[in-house]
Amino acid sequence: MPEIQLGCHTVRSHGIKVARVHMHDWLILFLLVVMVIILNVIEPFHRFVGEEMMTDLRYPLQDNTVPIWAVPIIAILLPFVVILIYYFIRKDVYDLHHALLGLLYSVLITAVITEAIKNAVGQPRPDFFWRCFPDGKGVFDPVTLDVNCTGDKTVIKEGYKSFPSGHTSGCFAGLGFLALYLSGKIRVFDRQGHVAKLCIVFLPLLAAALVGISRVDDYWHHWQDVFAGALLGTIVASFCYLQFFPPPYDIDGWGPHAYFQMLAESRNGLQSSTSTNHLMVQHSELESVHIDSQRGMETSSGNIRDTSPILHEVQNNRRH
């Protein structure tokens, strides 16, 4: 594949143009952020939790190994740093814009789906007992046999949001997108047998997996929650990546769709301009030949009609 120069497509020269084309996409991103906030505020479904069910929900309540504020850093900031480094190397604003847009869509769509499922399912966390009864004394309704929680309402609300794991889905959405991005850039599937490239691609996935494992170790999630979150984040990341980039195994998998569309439009415009110039040159040549032929005919006809100096003088007087 021939090397293509991208140095003329920088943020300064083409950034505004590219952003204007996708203005509506950025507005939808803002709406997704609003949806995530709303879904975090509303109360989740309170699933029935009987006394016998508490046997599997008595794990200790402890702090997060990976705090909630670290998830945007891992899922968004870290991949963006890699994308930004690539931009400084190749100076391709199409790649920068579409990679950032795809990354944000991947994380935010995953967050909306995750929070919606959490609220709808209302699955209790493994440490639900201590969230519900911080003093260790269980209180249950004598009729329904459901729990009558005595703990802090905010802590109890969070206790009903186990499935799926938001940390895991968010990290797999962002780092999964990064893994696909790196696969295209370093041409992992070039059939050259460089297995070492896979190690680079697997690093983001390993980091996301470790975040998911920490959720089980902290007793904030069941293993099913983590598995579902990883699957959800990976699927959304794949869809969002393919929306802006060819598959990593494609011969053009190193660049975004928009860049190749721009090249095709430029090539077609150049060809049409060349064709127009060629037709104009042909038309000018035909006009030149036609004028020369007319002049030749006038000269020859003047020589044939009469060579008399008197008649020639009369014709000149008529012209003047």
Which range marks the domain in which residue 276 is found?
269-319
Task: Count the domains in the chain.
Answer: 2
Active site residue 98: no
What's residue 297's pLDDT? Answer: 46
What's residue 305's pLDDT? Answer: 43
What's residue 110's pLDDT? Answer: 98
In a shared domain, residues 218 and 304 = no
Classify the phi-psi angles of 296: left when phi > 0, otherwise alpha if psi is within -120 to 50, otherwise beta.
Answer: alpha
Half-sphere exposure of 256 (CA within 13 A, CB side): 22
In a shared domain, residues 277 and 216 = no
Q: How far apart are CA 257 and CA 244, in angstroms?
A: 6
| Length, in residues, of the chain | 320
In a shared domain, residues 297 and 171 = no
In a shared domain, residues 24 and 68 = yes
What's residue 166's pLDDT? Answer: 96
In a shared domain, residues 280 and 148 = no
The answer as to whether 53 is a domain residue is yes
Q: Count CB-CB contacts under 10 A for residue 209.
A: 17
The SS3 call for residue 242 is helix
What's residue 169's pLDDT? Answer: 98
Task: At 142, list the tokens.
Answer: 């004598």
In a shared domain, residues 119 and 157 = yes
pTM over 0.85: no
In a shared domain, residues 191 and 135 = yes
* Host H or E run for residue 30: helix 23-41
Active site residue 221: yes
- List 22, 167, 194, 320, catalytic entry: 167
- Counting beta carbons within 10 angstroms of the beta carbon of residue 129, is it exposed (0 to 12), middle (13 to 18) or buried (19 or more)? buried
Q: How far apart are CA 169 and CA 126, in angstroms?
A: 18
- List 24, 221, 222, 312, catalytic entry: 221
Q: pLDDT tens string for the chain (320 positions)?
A: 334 444 466 656 666 777 787 789 999 999 999 999 999 999 999 999 999 999 899 999 999 999 999 999 999 999 999 999 999 998 888 899 999 999 999 999 999 999 999 999 999 999 999 999 999 999 999 999 999 999 999 999 999 999 999 999 999 999 999 999 999 999 998 888 788 889 999 999 999 999 999 999 999 999 999 999 999 999 999 999 999 999 999 888 888 887 777 777 767 765 555 555 554 545 454 455 444 545 544 444 444 344 444 434 434 544 44
What's residue 92's pLDDT? Answer: 85
Q: Which of 116, 104, 115, 112 is nearest to 237 (CA)?
A: 104
The SS3 call for residue 9 is strand
Is 245 within 8 Å of 98 (Cβ atoms)? Answer: yes
